[in-house]
Amino acid sequence: MRVCVVGCGAVGSLFAASLAQLEDVEVWAYDLDEAHVRAINESGLRLSGAGELTGRLRATSEADELPACDFGIVAVKSMQTGPALAATAHAFPDGAVCSVQNGVGNEEAIAEHVERVIRGTTFPAGRIVEPGHVQWDVQGDTTIGPFEPRPASLEECARLADACTRGGMPTTALADARGPQWRKVIFNAATNPIGALTGLAHGRVCERPDLRRLVSALVDEGKAAAAAQGIELDADPEELIDYAARKDVAYDHKASMLQDVEGRRPTEIDYLNGGIVRFGREHGVPTQLNEAVVALIKGLEASWTS
Amino acid sequence: MRVCVVGCGAVGSLFAASLAQLEDVEVWAYDLDEAHVRAINESGLRLSGAGELTGRLRATSEADELPACDFGIVAVKSMQTGPALAATAHAFPDGAVCSVQNGVGNEEAIAEHVERVIRGTTFPAGRIVEPGHVQWDVQGDTTIGPFEPRPASLEECARLADACTRGGMPTTALADARGPQWRKVIFNAATNPIGALTGLAHGRVCERPDLRRLVSALVDEGKAAAAAQGIELDADPEELIDYAARKDVAYDHKASMLQDVEGRRPTEIDYLNGGIVRFGREHGVPTQLNEAVVALIKGLEASWTS
């Protein structure tokens, strides 16, 4: 089996290095960071922290170099999905391409470029510490399944899930993989922009009763948008929010959107709260607070350009 | 007539210097900024810009020095009302005290310290450029009237209004002065925190359709809270919002709350959106978006202390 990881940042690297542990999988990585690519090709891709391993794989910033692959695993930032797939789609003439990105709407963007798409949600997290070296902060499960409008087969999903699991990233294939995806997008949409707008880490957001109420009100809108689509959440996002707020879990964690705001980089708001608003609108579900949050974050992004 | 201006910042200075033009009014100013007090006592209080004049008055940072006054005009930041009145209430044994502050709830705080209270709303604005010298940015009207739970008489209100008008600050006394006050608090609550959360000046907030929709949704909640109290707005706050967004008016104006956030000073959120939420709750009016905005601004304030 040949797999190409599209976007070899922190999450992409976890998949790439893990899959590279397997004899029966050949791993390629496509990434625009040339220093990272060079380090991977010279010394392998090293993970440390929650797992310690080095994966041998081929990395490139030149999409032309990619051979035909059986699977793609897309891990670029949501707003880069379109350009990344436009560049790499030729590598998946018969392959199935799986998103492991944040938010909703990524599979739709992938489906504009390839025939068979896999919906995916992953909970592990990490960060690049230097070219070729990723700190694995949090272990966790991945759930994948056919993307309904342009599906890969469940059997293909099961093959990819089996490889990821054997490589060290526990992955389940389901006929309907929307439950975990919506649980995660609701979690992220209810907490990330609140951290980004206030500058507070996750635990401090949660311990302020007024902000925790706002978080729950955002969760409720997301749950209503999911329910209107017939999506059954695999667990209550509120549990994840409270769990993450524990001092021994992610109390001091600055949401990735807060990190983006501090670095004045575009955020993933369109795929988080923006996705909830879009799906809510399609299904007649009011999402006033999520709309407000989208407007505020996009206003904040606009303030960086005068 | 003897008048003491409590809080001689920008707005207080406009009243103090204007009233000091009148032969029949003796003006005192109470302010904690000792350099400003010293400059006023040495060289008078100078206004420039929309009006050019210098007022001769007595200023002090020592409340004990204040003589008994017929009127007080309170112009401290809302959250300083309690302490400022606790210090100065002895100067109003038979006097009536008028708020010209932003927001709602200030008269209630004044009424905890003095017998007769005047509700007031003022539109002129300026800023201190150096001790003893205030830039007068915007002229405008002031409306005052008896504070219903602890009222000064309408006749007293008329006397104070007459003096302010003769001094150069056009002021009207009304039996019910709540209309202009709620118009202004709705305007401020719908726009100031949006500027503060996004970093955008007023005109840029208004030209973004998504933010302008949020502004209008905040206005609608405020209007509903006013209507439930039987308050008739003297004009639509939306008109003021659009007027202020004009390039020749206040397009580039950074809301005072944005200035507070940039300077990491406590904001007046409790008296703006917080006031709308409080009165809304008392009258059974939902104010979900104003509540969200209060939580976000208070979270932002909390982020400045680790």
Q: What is the pLDDT of residue B103?
A: 95
Domain's final residue, options B131, B147, B173: B173
Q: Are strands B116-122 and A171-173 parallel, antiparallel or unpaired?
A: unpaired
Do B302 and A198 make contact, defined as CB atoms within 8 angstroms?
yes
* pLDDT of B95 higher than 80: yes
**CB distance from A302 to chain B under 8 Å?**
yes
> Using alpha carbons only, what angle is made at residue A270 by residues A269 and A274, rounded to the nearest 5 degrees?
95
**CB distance from A140 to chain B under 8 Å?**
no
Mean pLDDT, to the nearest integer, of B87-110? Answer: 97
Q: What is the pLDDT of residue B159?
A: 98
Q: What is the pLDDT of residue A270?
A: 96
CATH number of the domain enclosing B152: 3.40.50.720
> Using alpha carbons only, what angle is made at residue A294 by residues A291 and A296, rounded to the nearest 5 degrees?
110
CATH number of the domain enclosing A254: 1.10.1040.10
* pLDDT of A233 higher than 80: yes
Domain's final residue, options A107, A139, A173: A173
User: How many CB atoms lie under 10 A from the CB of residue B190?
Assistant: 30
For residues B256-279, one letter each, b for 16 or more C-beta atoms within 10 angstroms of the residue's C-beta and e for the rest, the string is bbbbbbeeeebbbbbbbbbbbbbb
Nearest to B55 by CA among B14, B91, B7, B24: B14
Question: Best mutation site among B303, B304, B305, B306 for testing chain A: the one with the most A CBs within 10 Å?
Answer: B303
Q: Residue B285 — φ and ψ, nearest 5°? A: -105, 125
3-state secondary structure at position A213: helix
Q: What is the pLDDT of residue B273?
A: 98
Q: Is there a single domain that holds both residue B249 and residue B146?
A: no
B287 to chain A: which residues are within 8 Å by CB?
none
Rounded Cα distance, B241 and A130, in Å: 49
Q: What are the DSSP E strand ranges found in A93-155?
A: 96-99, 116-122, 125-130, 133-138, 142-146
Q: Which residue has the tokens 């002129």?
A: B124
Out of B217, B294, B303, the one facing A288 most closely (by C-beta) is: B217
Q: Are strands A142-146 and A116-122 parallel, antiparallel or unpaired?
A: antiparallel
Q: What is the pLDDT of residue B182?
A: 98
Rounded Cα distance, A59 and B203, in Å: 48
A219 to chain B: which residues are within 8 Å by CB?
none
State the total domains in chain B. Answer: 2
Residue B118 pairs with which residues in a beta bridge? B98, B146
Q: Is there a single domain that holds both residue B151 and residue B286?
A: no
User: How many CB atoms lie under 10 A from the CB of residue A61?
Assistant: 15
Domain's final residue, options A128, A147, A173: A173
Residue B253's pLDDT band (boundaries 50, 70, 90)?
A: confident
**CB distance from B205 to chain A under 8 Å?**
yes
For residues A30-59, one letter each, b for 16 or more C-beta atoms within 10 angstroms of the residue's C-beta and e for the rest, the string is bbebeebbebbbeebbbbeeeeebbbebbb
> Using alpha carbons only, what angle is made at residue B78 by residues B75 and B84, rounded to the nearest 5 degrees?
65
The separation between CA B56 and the C-alpha centre of its own chain, rounded to angstroms, equals: 23
The counts of H helices and E strands in chain B are: 12, 12
**What ipTM was predicted for this assembly?**
0.90
Q: Is there a single domain that holds both residue A159 and residue A206?
A: no
Q: What is the pLDDT of residue A255?
A: 85
DSSP state of A67: P
A257 to chain B: which residues are within 8 Å by CB?
none
Out of A200, A292, A299, the one facing B292 most closely (by C-beta) is: A292
Q: Are strands A58-60 and A26-30 parallel, antiparallel or unpaired?
A: parallel
Q: Is there a single domain that holds both residue B253 and residue B145?
A: no
Domain assignment of residue A34, given as a range: 2-173
Q: Is there a single domain that holds both residue B290 and residue B186?
A: yes
Q: What is the largest CA-CA distance in chain A?
A: 53
| pLDDT, tens digit, 9 for 90 and up, residues A155-178 | 999 999 999 999 999 999 999 999
Q: Is there a single domain that holds both residue B166 and residue B196?
A: no
Mean pLDDT, to the nearest integer, of A271-277? Answer: 98
Q: Which helix (H) or strand (E) holds B74?
A: strand B71-74
Residue B176's pLDDT band (boundaries 50, 70, 90)?
A: very high
Q: Cβ distance B280 to B225 under 8 Å?
A: yes
**CB distance from A149 to chain B under 8 Å?**
no
* Pairwise pLDDT comparison (A138 vs B80), residue with the higher score: B80
A299 to chain B: which residues are within 8 Å by CB?
194, 197-200, 204-205, 208, 210-211
Rounded Cα distance, A263 and A196, in Å: 11
User: How many CB atoms lie under 10 A from the CB of residue B281?
Assistant: 13
Q: What is the pLDDT of residue A143?
A: 98
Mean pLDDT, to the nearest integer, of A43-67? Answer: 97
**CB distance from B295 to chain A under 8 Å?**
yes
- Listing from the earlier edge strand, what are the strands of the sheet with B45-49? B53-55, B45-49, B133-138, B125-130
Q: Is there a single domain that holds both residue A221 and residue A245?
A: yes
B208 to chain A: which residues are within 8 Å by CB?
295, 298-299, 302
Out of A214, A217, A302, the one facing B200 most closely (by C-beta) is: A302
For residues B130-142, one letter each, b for 16 or more C-beta atoms within 10 angstroms of the residue's C-beta and e for the rest, the string is ebbbbbbeebeeb
Q: Are strands A96-99 and A133-138 parallel, antiparallel or unpaired?
A: unpaired
Rounded Cα distance, B94 and A91, in Å: 87
Q: What is the pLDDT of residue A298?
A: 98
The separation between CA B57 and the C-alpha centre of its own chain, rounded to angstroms, equals: 22
Q: Is there a single domain that holds both residue A46 and residue A185?
A: no
Q: What is the pLDDT of residue A55?
A: 98
**How far lies A199's CA from each of A299, B124, B198, in Å?**
16, 33, 12
Q: Is there a single domain that holds both residue B14 and residue B155?
A: yes
Q: Cβ distance B269 to B185 under 8 Å?
A: no
Q: Is there a single domain that holds both residue A184 and residue A293?
A: yes
Q: Which helix (H) or strand (E) holds B223?
A: helix B209-228
Q: What is the pLDDT of residue B138?
A: 85
Q: Is there a single domain that holds both residue B161 and residue B262?
A: no
Question: Best mutation site among B212, B214, B278 for testing chain A: the one with the most A CBs within 10 Å?
Answer: B214
Rounded Cα distance, B293 and A288, in Å: 13
Q: Residue B300 — φ and ψ, nearest 5°? A: -60, -45
Closest residue in A to B252 (Cα) is A306
Q: What is the pLDDT of residue A254?
A: 86
* pLDDT of B306 higher than 80: no
- Listing from the earlier edge strand, what are the strands of the sheet with A133-138? A53-55, A45-49, A133-138, A125-130
Task: Please measure the distance between the N-terminal and C-terminal CA atoms of chain B and give it in whole angstroms.
Answer: 49
Q: Is there a single domain that holds both residue B165 and residue B214?
A: no
Mean pLDDT, to the nearest integer, of B171-200? Answer: 97
Residue A118's pLDDT band (boundaries 50, 70, 90)?
A: very high
* pLDDT of B256 higher than 90: no
Q: What is the pLDDT of residue B8?
A: 97
